[in-house]
């Protein structure tokens, strides 16, 4: 099952502290590959806590690990990822004459990855 959702990359405390240790270190790479997703959306997509999911759009695709968030904390159809190299793979270079790529509010397809 595939659905289109809105992906919002942003800062987390873990991402902020891990980048001081080094962006090539496992801790940073782990944190920037975690995806926050509404638990009701997870259930509909057949995803469980810790499951792997594929996010894709016209620019690229990445594999992330799901961590559930209560529906009152994260709206339906909205995904959050600590920003870093994985989220960059989904970001297009178009800036609409502003210099700023659409770094939040990216439309992505999400589907479960069967291991």
Partner 1 sequence: MSENIRTVKNATCTFCGCLCDDMELTVDLDEHRITKAKNACVLGRAWYAEHVIEDRPAAMIDGKEVDFDEAVEEAAQVLVNAKFPIIYGLSDTTSEAQREAVAIADYIHGTIDTTTSVCHGPTGMAFQGVGESTMSLGEVKNRADMVIFWGGNPAVSHPRLFTRYAVTTKGMFIPNGKKDRTIVLVDVRKTASDPVANIQIKVKPGKDFELLWALRALVKGKSIDPSIEKITGVSLATLEDLVDRMKKCNYGVIFFGMGLTMTRGRHFNSGALMALGTDLNEFTHFVVKPARGHGNVTGADNVVSWQTGYPFGVNFNLGYPRFNPGEFTTVDTLSNRDADAAMFIASDPASNFPKPAIEHMKRIPVISLDPKQTITSSLAHVAFTTATYGINTTGTVYRMDDVPITLRKAYDSPFPSDEEILTAIKKRVRELMLSKYGTSGVRGEAKVASLTPL
Residues that bind partner 1 (CB under 8 A): 6, 8, 10-13, 16-18, 20-24, 59-60, 72-75, 78, 80, 83-85, 87-105
Neighbours of 104 (CB within 10 A): 14
Nearer to partner 1, 46 or 63 (CB): 63
Distances (CA, A) of 45 to 19, 27, 52, 85, 110: 32, 28, 12, 25, 9
Residue 106 Cβ, how far from partner 1 at the closest point, in Å? 10
- How far is it, in rounded angstroms, from Cα 57 to Cα 90? 6
Specify the residue, 46 or 75, whose C-beta has the smaller distance to partner 1: 75
Question: Helix, strand, or coil here: 26?
Answer: helix
Give the shortest CB-36-to-partner 1 separation in angstroms: 8
Nearer residue to partner 1 within complex by CB, 9 or 51: 9
């Amino acid at each position: 099952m595939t659905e289109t959702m809105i992906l919002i990359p942003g800062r987390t405390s873990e991402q902020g502290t891990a980048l001081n240790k080094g962006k090539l270190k496992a801790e940073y790479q782990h944190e920037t590959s975690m995806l926050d997703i509404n638990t009701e959306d997870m259930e509909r997509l057949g995803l469980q806590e810790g499951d792997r999911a594929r996010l894709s759009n016209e620019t690229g695709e990445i594999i992330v690990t799901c961590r559930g968030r209560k529906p009152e904390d994260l709206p339906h159809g909205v995904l959050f990822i600590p920003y870093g190299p994985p989220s960059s793979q989904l970001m297009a270079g178009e800036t609409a004459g502003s210099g700023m790529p659409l770094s939040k509010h990216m439309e992505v397809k999400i589907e479960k990855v069967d291991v």
